[in-house]
Amino acid sequence: MSRTIILQPDGRPAQRPGTTLTSLPPLSVYVHVPWCVRKCPYCDFNSHAASDIPERAYLDALRHDLEQALPSIWGRQVVSVFIGGGTPSLLSAAGLDELLAMLRSHLRLLPDAEVTLEANPGTAEAGRFRDYAASGVTRLSLGIQSFDDAQLQKLGRIHDAGQARAAIRMAQQAVARVNLDLMFALPGQTLDACLADVRQALSFGTEHLSLYHLTMEPNTVFAKYPPRDLPDDDTAAAMQDAVQAELAQASLQRYEVSAYARPGARCKHNLNYWEFGDYLGLGPGAHGKISFHDRIVREARARQPESWMERASRADGSHIAETRTLGTLDLPFEFMLNALRLRDGVASSLFAERTGLSLAAIAHQLEAAVSRGLLDADPTRLQASSLGWRFLNDLQEMFLSN
């Protein structure tokens, strides 16, 4: 028996636009605050330098954005909230309190929902951190990047090492969970200097550390004017290996590509991303993924803050710049792109639970990945092998549709 294949305009086979989910995944909320004091030369996030942020207009637009999103998530519980940027700690204590009160009044936040706020050490104030905690923030994520003043200047940061140390102490006095962001493979950085940054972070009893390789992202100042003396790939790899060993001695295990944590201190919000959970993205440029029983939808808000505020206030949906229903050919790669970032992978059963597809849909790719030694052969888990962890991009790309 022959079958008819329907082609899209680009010649590729057409996809089934939806899926069938028997249950919906956990739901998180991401709120984007786009302003910062100064744009860092390596940053490709949707952030905009501003000396005075339009807090009132932003909060009003955020309320409109949230209210228009409610029908798509009505009745669902929220397991975590992440307020990122930009520099969310530029919000006043009253503004942040209003934002969180808005979320609580419109959404079903679990009593133990993790509420994370990103903060810049250069904008840290002890009183403000305490007010944030009183409003419901349970976790602060501090963009330290380095404890070396010369490196901080090269990175265009507005804080120095002394301010970084002071901000960590303030944060630890305000909330139970504090995450520190560090960068490595910095211009002229040696292995000893890299380890000195990590040891300085550990000296505060840090429970969670995010470690990022400095990369030259497109459309950044560093992409146009790359800094000199960047460590080569072998040196950067040696730094990462040495850091991982140092952190393991301090009981911080690498549980995701860029994240290390002590037992019980993993970031619940980010784990929901990697496990292909749902997240509502609010604010300019925010991305979201929302599952329904018959489809999974990705969406993105308008990027420019002024445009997003104006459009969101119309209450006609025009602030959403992109909406895309994931087809059956998209889902394997979308799922594996996230799940394989976790060092321990995920249970095999999660694939069907979160995509609505049978594991048989990727049987060929799984067999090929195992035969190449990139994926563990355990049928109960989808987990990169040690070799697959080293060549993670290659492993993830095996699940792209042709």
DSSP per-residue codes, 40-105: -TT--SS-EE-SS--HHHHHHHHHHHHHHHHHHHTT-EEEEEEEEES-GGGS-HHHHHHHHHHHHH
Kindly give the confidence (pLDDT) of every residue in the chain, 402 residues in length, as a single tens digit, with 9 standing for 90 and above.
333 333 344 444 445 555 789 999 999 999 999 999 999 988 888 899 988 999 999 999 999 999 999 999 999 999 999 999 999 999 999 999 999 999 999 999 999 999 999 999 988 887 899 999 999 999 999 999 999 999 999 999 999 999 999 999 999 999 999 999 999 999 999 999 999 999 999 999 999 999 999 999 998 898 889 998 999 999 999 999 999 999 999 999 999 999 999 999 999 999 999 999 999 999 999 999 999 999 999 999 999 999 999 999 999 999 999 999 999 999 999 999 999 999 999 999 999 999 999 999 999 999 999 999 999 999 999 999 999 999 999 999 999 986
Q: Residues spanned by CATH 3.20.20.70 within the chain?
A: 27-273
CATH number at 27-273: 3.20.20.70
Give yes or no for a contact between 305 and 284, defined as CB atoms under 8 angstroms apart: yes
Read off φ and ψ for residue 245, nearest 5 degrees.
-65, -40
Q: Residues spanned by CATH 1.10.10.920 within the chain?
A: 330-402
How far apart CA 259 and CA 276 sit, in angstroms, is 17
The three state secondary structure string of 320-374 is EEEEEECCCCCHHHHHHHHHCCECCCEECHHHHHHHCCCHHHHHHHHHHHHHCCC
Query: Angle formed by the axes of helices 126-135 and 93-106, to 10°?
Result: 10
25 DSSP 8-state letter: P
**What is the pTM for the complete model shown?**
0.93
The topology (CATH level 3) of 330-402 is Arc Repressor Mutant, subunit A (1.10.10)
Give yes or no for a contact between 32 and 312, defined as CB atoms under 8 angstroms apart: no
